[in-house]
Amino acid sequence: MTHYLLSVHRVAGEVGQPVTEEQLRQSYQRLGVIEAELKSTGAWVFSGRLHEPDTATVVRQSGGTLLTSDGPFVESKEHLGGFYIIQAKDLDEALAWAGRVTAAIGAPIEVWPFADAQGA
Protein backbone atom coordinates (compact mmCIF):
# COMPACT_ATOMS: atom_id res chain seq x y z
CA MET A 1 0.00 0.00 0.00
CA THR A 2 1.15 3.51 -0.79
CA HIS A 3 0.56 6.50 1.46
CA TYR A 4 -1.07 9.55 -0.12
CA LEU A 5 -1.55 13.11 1.02
CA LEU A 6 -5.02 14.46 0.26
CA SER A 7 -4.58 18.20 0.73
CA VAL A 8 -7.63 20.43 1.08
CA HIS A 9 -7.14 23.85 -0.50
CA ARG A 10 -8.88 27.13 0.28
CA VAL A 11 -8.68 30.60 -1.22
CA ALA A 12 -8.19 33.38 1.32
CA GLY A 13 -11.07 35.82 1.35
CA GLU A 14 -13.12 33.80 -1.11
CA VAL A 15 -16.77 33.90 -0.23
CA GLY A 16 -18.74 30.96 -1.53
CA GLN A 17 -22.45 30.49 -1.87
CA PRO A 18 -24.23 31.13 1.43
CA VAL A 19 -25.03 27.89 3.24
CA THR A 20 -27.69 27.25 5.81
CA GLU A 21 -27.04 25.61 9.16
CA GLU A 22 -28.77 22.51 7.81
CA GLN A 23 -26.50 22.37 4.73
CA LEU A 24 -23.45 22.76 6.96
CA ARG A 25 -24.72 20.00 9.27
CA GLN A 26 -25.27 17.70 6.27
CA SER A 27 -21.78 18.42 4.95
CA TYR A 28 -20.22 17.55 8.32
CA GLN A 29 -22.37 14.43 8.49
CA ARG A 30 -21.22 13.29 5.00
CA LEU A 31 -17.62 13.97 5.97
CA GLY A 32 -18.10 11.97 9.19
CA VAL A 33 -19.37 9.00 7.17
CA ILE A 34 -16.37 9.20 4.80
CA GLU A 35 -13.93 9.42 7.71
CA ALA A 36 -15.59 6.44 9.43
CA GLU A 37 -15.26 4.43 6.19
CA LEU A 38 -11.61 5.48 5.81
CA LYS A 39 -10.98 4.15 9.32
CA SER A 40 -13.04 0.96 8.98
CA THR A 41 -11.29 -0.01 5.74
CA GLY A 42 -7.83 0.70 7.16
CA ALA A 43 -7.18 3.54 4.69
CA TRP A 44 -7.10 6.34 7.30
CA VAL A 45 -3.68 7.19 8.74
CA PHE A 46 -4.08 10.76 10.03
CA SER A 47 -5.94 13.98 9.27
CA GLY A 48 -6.09 17.55 10.45
CA ARG A 49 -7.68 20.94 9.87
CA LEU A 50 -5.39 23.97 9.87
CA HIS A 51 -5.84 27.53 11.11
CA GLU A 52 -5.67 30.45 8.69
CA PRO A 53 -2.29 31.00 6.99
CA ASP A 54 -1.47 34.12 9.00
CA THR A 55 -1.02 31.88 12.08
CA ALA A 56 1.89 29.98 10.47
CA THR A 57 5.54 30.51 11.43
CA VAL A 58 8.40 29.87 9.02
CA VAL A 59 11.61 28.42 10.51
CA ARG A 60 14.83 28.44 8.50
CA GLN A 61 18.59 28.18 8.96
CA SER A 62 20.75 30.95 7.54
CA GLY A 63 24.49 31.27 8.12
CA GLY A 64 24.34 29.04 11.17
CA THR A 65 21.55 31.11 12.73
CA LEU A 66 18.02 29.88 13.27
CA LEU A 67 15.53 32.43 11.94
CA THR A 68 11.78 32.55 12.39
CA SER A 69 9.29 34.78 10.62
CA ASP A 70 5.56 35.13 10.46
CA GLY A 71 4.16 32.83 7.81
CA PRO A 72 3.03 31.65 5.49
CA PHE A 73 6.16 30.68 3.56
CA VAL A 74 4.52 31.42 0.21
CA GLU A 75 2.51 34.61 -0.27
CA SER A 76 -0.56 33.36 -2.09
CA LYS A 77 -4.33 33.63 -2.01
CA GLU A 78 -4.52 29.84 -2.03
CA HIS A 79 -3.55 27.94 1.08
CA LEU A 80 -3.65 24.55 2.70
CA GLY A 81 -6.77 24.30 4.85
CA GLY A 82 -6.39 20.72 6.00
CA PHE A 83 -5.26 17.29 4.95
CA TYR A 84 -5.70 13.55 5.13
CA ILE A 85 -2.94 11.00 5.02
CA ILE A 86 -4.33 7.74 3.71
CA GLN A 87 -3.01 4.46 2.41
CA ALA A 88 -4.39 3.07 -0.82
CA LYS A 89 -3.49 0.25 -3.17
CA ASP A 90 -3.02 2.68 -6.07
CA LEU A 91 -3.63 6.20 -7.33
CA ASP A 92 -7.12 5.33 -8.59
CA GLU A 93 -8.19 4.32 -5.09
CA ALA A 94 -6.69 7.50 -3.60
CA LEU A 95 -8.49 9.59 -6.23
CA ALA A 96 -11.77 7.88 -5.38
CA TRP A 97 -11.38 8.87 -1.71
CA ALA A 98 -10.45 12.43 -2.75
CA GLY A 99 -13.54 12.58 -4.95
CA ARG A 100 -15.75 11.71 -2.02
CA VAL A 101 -14.11 14.32 0.21
CA THR A 102 -14.37 17.12 -2.36
CA ALA A 103 -18.04 16.28 -2.93
CA ALA A 104 -18.68 16.51 0.81
CA ILE A 105 -16.88 19.79 1.47
CA GLY A 106 -16.90 21.62 -1.87
CA ALA A 107 -13.17 22.39 -1.85
CA PRO A 108 -10.43 21.20 -4.22
CA ILE A 109 -8.38 18.20 -3.10
CA GLU A 110 -4.83 17.67 -4.33
CA VAL A 111 -3.54 14.08 -4.21
CA TRP A 112 0.18 13.41 -3.73
CA PRO A 113 1.86 10.02 -3.28
CA PHE A 114 4.55 9.90 -0.60
CA ALA A 115 8.01 9.07 -1.92
CA ASP A 116 9.22 5.57 -0.95
CA ALA A 117 6.19 4.97 1.24
CA GLN A 118 5.10 1.61 -0.15
CA GLY A 119 4.70 -0.92 2.61
CA ALA A 120 5.50 1.62 5.31
Which residues on neighbouring strands pair with residue 37, listed in sequence order?
Answer: none
- In the chain, % of residues over pLDDT 70: 92
pLDDT digits (tens, 9 = 90+) for 40-84: 999 999 999 998 888 888 899 999 999 998 877 777 777 888 999
At how many degrees (to 10) do helices 91-105 and 21-40 cross? 160
The three-state secondary structure class of 81 is strand
Expressed in angstroms, the distance from the first to the final Cα of the chain is: 8
Distance, in Å, from the CA atom of 32 to the CA atom of 97, rounded to the nearest integer, reads 13
Please give the order of strands across the beta sheet that includes 2-11: 44-49, 78-88, 2-11, 109-113
pTM for the whole structure: 0.81
